[in-house]
Amino acid sequence: MPFDHLGLSAEILHAVADEGYELPTPVQEEAIPVVLAGRDLLAAAQTGTGKTAAFVLPILQLLTPLANTSFSPARHPVRALVVTPTRELAMQVAQSVKTYGRHVPLRSAVVYGGVPVDPQAKETRAGVEILVATPGRLLDLVGQRAVNLTQVSILVLDEADRMLDMGFIPDIRRIVELLPAGRQSLLFSATFNDDVRSLAGNFLRDPVTVEVARRNTAVETVRQMLYPVDRERKTDLLAHLIRTRGWRQVLVFTRTKIMASRLARDLDRVGIAAVPIHSDRTQSERTRALADFKAGEIEVLVATDVASRGLDIEELPVVVNYELPLVAEDYLHRIGRTARAGLDGDAVSLACIDEVDLLRAIQRMLKRAIPWQVEPGFVPDRNVEPRPISGRSSPGAAIRDARETRAREGAPRRGGVRPRPTGAGERRPTGR
């Protein structure tokens, strides 16, 4: 179905054409008419499916009649609120709002932690119709009376499964309490598990469900390949694959921040330009690393799972799991970074003997085996004994550790809505 059959206005179609999009993606085709009709929406769509445009385009259209050129902040109340789990995703969604809203005179802003609050407060005080925010910083700004949410007519919860994982639900509840009851709510999630459904039960009214990828199914166009390799030889194998396969832009995942830094350093030493991106790095370091990567100045970005949320790098050709994730669903999130919007992509995993249980869990989730091959020159030594992961005695303990770390890295501060001193969010690692 062409874009102009979805009920979108000329201004919005104009912006879509500017982007060179010819046809709507499946989630856009299904979600856009539902949102335009004013219904609540529960959408299962992974990053890379075009989900951002699926909510941004109809929101722009619904709000266009309210656009005005008044200088009074009171004439520009927040009418659409998009909440995302991470700063990177918030920035990307905000960029999409600007891009798709190019021909519509609506104001938008993005607020997230890790940077001084004052410039954001100034911008929101001046009045914006569309606000994209991470939960903690949004609550800070509400506490400072720099944001008022009483006129929000559309709420979007993006990557809701991530928000659950990162412990943001108490903050979300607080935010939702500040919104008018009669609003329209849209919830997007990469996966539909019972927690997401119960969240939807709390926040949505009689939603239309749109499910474009089957439950826990890897993006179909990703070619998956696994290389068994000894644990000490993973870096050599990665460097070898980068060189022999001619990879230019590689996103590599590790389980820990320490490993991300160490691997980036080791790759750099053998002449492969690599930078780590994780929550211990400042926001400007992360933004810079991403920009350099997109510009092709660095070949390899080494990321942890938390840091990777929302990274949008167009046409990313290769994702490498240098270490398999402790939580099987993270495998899907990771490989969802390639083959975006229907393009082909490769997801390559390097697995050593220690990771057999993790591999089994991933394959159980995928309901199929990942194809594998041994790279000549990197045949694993059959006599190597497996070692527990993370130095813990059991995989279960290591997985609990991982969940705790993740919750900590993205954990919201407890307590009610209250002002916070300027710049206090700067030390917050993610999403603040």
Name the residues that contact ligand AMP, by CB under 6 A: 21, 24-25, 28, 47-53, 312, 314, 340-341
Q: What's the min distance (Å) between Cβ of 3 and ligand AMP?
A: 7
CB 293 within 8 A of CB 238: no
Q: What are phi and psi of 289, to 5 degrees?
A: -60, -45
List beta partners, residue 187.
42, 157
Q: CB nearer to ligand AMP: give 48 or 136.
A: 48
Closest distance to ligand AMP from the beta carbon of 31 (Å): 11
State how far the Cα of 384 lies from the Cα of 171, in Å rounded to an integer: 47
Q: Give me the least distance between CB of 25 and ligand AMP, in Å please.
A: 5
Start-to-end C-alpha separation, the chain: 39
Rounded alpha-carbon distances, angstroms, from residue 164 to 66, 259, 343: 33, 25, 29
Closer residue to ligand AMP in complex, CB, 97/199:
97
353: tokens are 């003997």
Q: Indicate the residue among 18 and 297 with the shorter CB distance to ligand AMP.
A: 18
Q: Which two tokens stand for residue 343?
A: 């393009």
Q: Judged by CB, which is closer to ligand AMP: 155, or 370?
A: 155
Sheet of 250-253: strand order equals 222-228, 345-351, 318-321, 250-253, 300-303, 274-277
Residue 56 or 229 having the CB closest to ligand AMP: 56
Beta carbon nearer to ligand AMP, 63 or 213: 213
Contact 55, 186 (CB under 8 A): yes
CB of 84 to ligand AMP, least distance (A): 11
Looking at the Cβ atoms of 19 and 404, the one nearer to ligand AMP is: 19
Q: Is the separation of the CB atoms in 3 and 14 below 8 Å? A: no
Minimum distance from CB of 192 to ligand AMP (Å)? Answer: 17
CB nearer to ligand AMP: pick between 93 and 176: 93
Assess contact for 195 and 164: CB atoms under 8 A: yes
Q: Which two tokens stand for residue 352?
A: 């050593």
Contacts 24+ apart (CB under 8 A), 74-77: 74/127, 75/127, 76/107, 76/126, 76/127, 76/128, 76/129, 77/127, 77/129, 77/148, 77/150, 77/151
Residue 236 CB, shortest distance to ligand AMP, in Å, is 33
Could you please report the per-residue DSSP string of 262-308?
HHHHHHHHTT--EEEE-TTS-HHHHHHHHHHHHTTS-SEEEE-HHHH
CB of 428 to ligand AMP, least distance (A): 24
Q: Nearest distance from residue 50's CB to ligand AMP, in Å?
A: 3
Return the amino acid letter for 405.
T
Our CB check for ligand AMP shows the closer of 24 and 207 to be: 24
* Minimum CB distance to ligand AMP, residue 92 (Å): 7
Nearer to ligand AMP among residue 177 and residue 314 (C-beta): 314
Q: How far is the CB of 342 from ligand AMP (least distance, A)?
A: 7
Q: How far is CA 315 from the centre of its chain?
A: 16
Compute, in degrees rounded to 10, the torsion defined by CA atoms 173, 129, 308, 204: 40
Cα Dmax for the chain: 74
